[in-house]
Structure 1
Amino acid sequence: MNMEVLALLIFAHAMADYPLQGDFLARAKNHTAPICGVPWYHALAAHCTIHAGFVGIITGSLALGIAEFFIHAATDYAKCSGRISYNTDQAIHVGCKICWAVLVVA
């Protein structure tokens, strides 16, 4: 596993899920309590694109960036649906970063 890549991915995740997400995206991406006039899927896609961009840049892999986009979207959708907890959501996100770091070495 590439520990430098993993450290950068974890840092980028913290940036993208907290300060770069902000209150607006955190609320707007929730399909169960949408903000009037804001399509939730636009907000979710924007949030996931931020994550995917970081993964693609850090790993140098468009494929891993695309995988991050879809897995992050499915995970956040499940969290907003109440099917998984916040802690499970974060565990899946970090688990993906571990997978990406392993795949970069391969």
Structure 2
Amino acid sequence: MTSYELFQMFVLLLVGHALADYPLQGEFLAKAKNRFAPVPGVPWYQALGAHAVIHGGAVGWITGSITLGVLEVICHMLIDDLKCGHRISYNVDQLLHVACKVVWVVLAASAALP
């Protein structure tokens, strides 16, 4: 991949993140994914999982790699759970999500991933 293609991938990953974390998450998932303040009758892990799968789908679609999509799901769940538990701030949460996108681009550049 050329440096331009890698930059383009990074920008698209940021756009995908913005879409998945804001309009595609919505108020319901934003509240229901929090195991520390659960929505009655809604399993928090299903809401958190659904939110993370939206992100993983965006990463997989943009990178063309199911592996990177699955890694995104796992990382996104862990990071959001830390934020919901007030172990990291909103800004650190967003910084970690962007750092993951940098890692995905590096991995996409350095390996042929499925």
Q: Mind listing any 5+ residue stretches in structure 2 that lack a counterpart?
A: none
**Secondary structure of the residue that 1:69 maps to in structure 2?**
helix
- Of all paired residues, the percent bearing the same amino acid is 55
Residue identity in the other structure for 1:45: G
Aligned-residue offset at 1:98: 1.0
Cα distance between partner residues in 2 of 1:18 and 1:75: 16
Structure 1 residue aligned with 2:43: 39
**Over the residues paired in the alignment, what is the CA RMSD in angstroms?**
0.8
Kindly provide the CA deviation profile for residues 12-59 of structure 1, in whole angstroms up to 9, marking residues without a partner as x.
Answer: 000000000000000000001111100000000000000000001110
Verify: 1:74 aligned to 2:67, yes or no: no
Equivalent of residue 93 in structure 1, options 76, 87, 97: 97
**1:11 is aligned to 2:15:** yes
Q: 1:65 aligns with which of 66, 69, 76?
A: 69
Whole-Å separation in 2 of the counterparts to 1:6 and 1:16: 15
Q: Secondary structure at the match of 2:88?
A: coil
Q: What residue identity is the alignment partner of 1:101?
A: V
Map of 2:28 onto structure 1: 24
Q: With the length of structure 1 as denominator, give the TM-score of the two structures.
A: 0.97
Task: Provide runs of 4+ in structure 1 moved above 2 Å.
Answer: none
TM-score, reference length from structure 2: 0.91
